[in-house]
Structure 1
Amino acid sequence: MRLTIYGRSTVLKALLITLAIDIAALLIPNEIIKLVLLFLSVVFISFTLYFFRDPKREIPKDLKPGDILSPADGRVMMIEEIEENEFIKGPAKVIGIFLSPLNVHVNRVPVSGTVKFYQYIKGEFIAAYDHASADKNERTVIGIEGEKFKVLFKQITGFVARRIVCELRVGSKVKIGEKFGMIKFGSRTDVIMPLNANIKVSVNQKVTGGITVLAEVPV
C-alpha cells in the first residue's frame, strides 16, 4: 500500500506512539490489560496507515475541454446555485463533497490552468456535513483560471479534521488530476463553477478524486 507524502510526519509519530504503547503493554503483568493495549495499538496504527493511503489513479483519457474532475473522494452532499463574489464574481453552481475518515483524503486539481486566487482562512471546526461549515470553518480557497472558464474550490476542515495541506499558490501552473494536498482526518471539499456548467453527478452519489467528472462547462 502506497502512502501519501503529505502524511509521512503523522505516520512516523503514529509509529512512535504505537511502539510506546506496545512497550508499556509488555511491562504490565495483567494479561487482560496487556492484550487490550496491544489490540488498541494495532487498531491505531492500522487506521493511520489506511487513512494516509495514496492509491494509484489513472486520469480518464477521454476528458473533454470543459470537464471538471472531482478533487476528492467522498459523497456529494449538495448541489446549489449561488452568488460567488471572490473569483468567479457572479452567479455560479457549487458541488459540496463530504469526506468521511474512511475516504482517501489526497486532493487533486479539478481543472488545468493557472492558480490566480489563493486564500487561507482561519475558522471554526463545525462538522463537515453541516452546510454552515463552508463559510465558518478553517479552509483554503483556490481559484484556477483555464483557457475558457474559471473554477474555485475549497478545502474545508471538519470536526475531526484539523489540518489542511495545500501546495498551490498564486502563479502555480496545474494540470487536471494532479495531486496538490490533503485534509487530515475527515473534511469537506466544495467546487464552484460557472452557472452554465452541466452537472454530471447527483446528491448522495459517491465520487472518486481525479476520476469522476462532476460537471462539463460548454466551451
Structure 2
Amino acid sequence: MLPDLKDWWGELNDVYSKVLQMVARRVSDNLDRLKEKKENGRKVGMLKWKSPREYRSLTYNQSGFELNNTSDQTVLSLSKIGEMPIHLHRDIPNDACVKQVTVKQEKSGEWYAIFGIETEDDAPEKPALDEIDREDMVGIDVGIIKYAHDTDSTMVGSLDLESEYERLKREQRALSRKQEGSQNWHEQRRRMARIHARIVRKRRDFLHKLSAYYAREYDL
C-alpha cells in the first residue's frame, strides 16, 4: 500500500522507504498481539491514536544509515535527513555489524540514537555453581533506613533526591496553571521531563557506582 499512499500524500516521499516499512510493521505487530489476546479470551479494544506531537521515534532497518568517525567526531548519516554529530555512550565493537538504528526524542526534548548490532562472538556461558568460589561471595539486602546492607556489615545510605523532588513539585504546580495544549503548557511539560530525566540519571549513576564498588572489591 505504501506506493499508493505516496501518490495520495506526497509528503511521504520525504521519508526514507525503510522507515515507512518499519512503521507499517509496528502497526501490524500490534494488531497481531491484539488478535492473539482476543483469541485467548481476553477483552481487547482498538489501537490508540497517537498524535504527531507524541510520535517520537523512527527506525532505519538494514539500510539508509551510516556511522563515520571524522576528526575524532562520530557522525551519524540518515537518508532523507542528513548528517549529525553524535556522542557515543559506549564504543561499538570493531567486529560488530550495525543492523538497525532507532532515533528517539525524549519528552525532555533530547534526541538519542539506539543501535542494534550483530557480532560474531557468542554470549559467554553461565558458570556452574561448583566453579564459583563461595569465599568471595557477598549477600546484599535492601534496607529500610539504609539503602542496602551486605553480609560483610557494609551499609549504603540512600540517595538524597529531596531537592529534585521539591523542584518537581514546583514545576507540577506551574503546569497546573497553564492552559492544556498551549505552547506554554508544552514547554512546561518539557521542563518537568528534564527534571525526571535528571532524577533517572542520578539514580543510574548511584547504582552504577555501587555495582562498580562490589565488582572491584570482590573481583567480579
Same fold (TM over 0.5): no
After TM superposition, the score normalised by the length of structure 1 is 0.19
Larger Rg: 2
Q: Which has the higher helix share?
A: 2
After TM superposition, the score normalised by the length of structure 2 is 0.19
Q: Which has the higher strand share?
A: 1
